Amino acid sequence: MNTRSPAQPAPQPVKGSWEDLLLQAQQLARNYNDQAIPLYRKVVDGLVALPPARRNAANRRLYNLMMAAALDLQGYYNIRDRYDDALAVLAQLRPVIDEDEREMLDGLTVEVLLQAGRSDEAFARLRALAETPEAELGDWGQLVMGYIRAGQPAQAIPVLEKMAQVIDGTPASPERTAEDERSDLSYLAGLRGITLLEMGDIEGGIAAFEDVIKLGGAYADNLHLLYGRLIHQGRYVEAQRYIDLDRARPVRAAFWRGVSQQHMGHTAKARQTFDSVISTDITKSDQASIIEYILAHYYLSDPEADGLEIVLSVLREEPSAPWVIFYLAGIGWALRGDLRAAKSNLQLAVAQRKSIAEGRKLPWQYWFFARDIVPADRHDEIRSYFDDTSTTPGLLI
């Protein structure tokens, strides 16, 4: 029995207060109404101008409102392709935010520059950060990922060489263990593997991921970055070895096994594999694989709309869910033939992605699944929401 009390509606802010202005702006922004901009501007400009003591009073109520309004505003500018304005908001915010939040702001600035097509400026910022005395290996890694996102993976090769030199030149100390060095080498091997795969050097990418497997580390738990690409290239037998090694996420591995079987023409086996995925209690085993779990329903045509209903229930509880949830809703509706609902949700997915400066369209990798799932006579209706070429590493789910 559910003994929880019914959820109480949130109290309405005082009319004309900072909270009220922010709420009005957010409501307008959800409907893509540009009248949100002057309201956001009023909140941001007003709170930035306050003395720090006032912003930080009462558990930092006004500071938190300032951050929420500024990040919302720059996100809305991103949706509208007004990148100079988005960058100006981030620059306005930087002098008044906490020191420990500047790294987040710097990273977001780079993302906006990349989305705006101003990649040289983004690379210059990333390189300057990596070359500071206090920089860590991951700062060079961010530069590698920047080149990959910008579709310039070959430019990352000298950076990978620099990272190898940094590891070799890091002096031994009581604080740096052999495991630390092993972790750094694994990180470097993973980045090299992703870079080579993006360059079309599949053999080099495989060799790099073999090093990852030997060394362990975070990328060893993300072998889908390799086997997903192998499946996309039609190299199903080779992909199987790495699927079998993916013990970190059993639902993910089973899902990809089904995708591979389907592309090989083994339809009955694929259905059995997808059936095993959807019969899994992911709340007890592999919650991180919710995307694969839903996609498995879709590969089985989701006849009772069980997968779509899970997605819609998430959206009912969290209207500002991550873009991938709107993607799943869009594909679910397209599968069922409701193209109006499909396009509406895919448009929301694109807007969400643009607002956080992850890209102007949905990643090309997600078209791979949509193409499999949605009947061919509906492809032309939804293809425009997806990138035409790879702009992000691997098959990222």
pLDDT in tens, 297-341: 999 999 999 999 999 999 999 988 999 999 999 999 999 999 999
Q: Do 194 and 123 share a structural domain?
A: yes
Tell me if 291 is assigned to some domain: no
**Does the residue 394 lie in any domain?**
yes
Overall number of domains in the chain: 3
For residue 395, the enclosing domain spans 301-397
Helix (H) or strand (E) holding 315: helix 306-317
Give the E-state strand segments of 154-292 in sequence order.
none
Nearest-angstrom CA–CA distance, 136 and 130? 7
d(CA 396, CA 389): 14
Interatomic CA distance for residues 45 and 66, integer angstroms: 9
Q: 221, 256, 290: which is the final residue of a domain?
A: 221
Residues 44 and 119 in one domain: no
b/e burial code for range 134-151 (CB count within 10 A of at least 16 → b): eeebebbbbbbbbbbbbe
> Is 340 part of any domain?
yes
Are residue 127 and residue 210 in the same domain, yes or no? yes
Based on the fold, state whether residues 209 and 311 are members of the same structural domain: no
Task: State how far the alpha carbon of 325 is from the alpha carbons of 115, 269, 301, 365, in Å.
Answer: 21, 28, 18, 15
Q: Using CA atoms, how far apart are residues 104 and 108, in angstroms rounded to an integer?
A: 6
Let me know whether 47 and 80 are in one domain. Answer: yes
Q: What is the pLDDT of residue 177?
A: 84
- The answer to whether residue 36 sits within a structural domain is yes
Angstrom distance (rounded) from CA 349 to CA 330:
8
Domain match, 118 and 62 both: no
Same domain flag for 326 and 387? yes
In a domain, 287, yes or no: no
281 in any annotated domain: no
What sign results for the dihedral spanned by CA atoms 103, 187, 220, 146?
Answer: positive
pLDDT mean values, one per 10 residues, the chain (397 residues): 44 86 96 97 97 95 97 98 98 95 95 97 97 93 95 96 92 79 96 95 97 94 95 94 94 97 97 97 82 97 97 92 96 98 97 96 94 97 88 52
In this structure, the answer to whether residues 79 and 129 fall within a common structural domain is no
pTM here is 0.91
Q: Which of 73, 97, 121 is the last residue of a domain?
A: 97
User: Percent of the chain, pLDDT > 70?
Assistant: 95
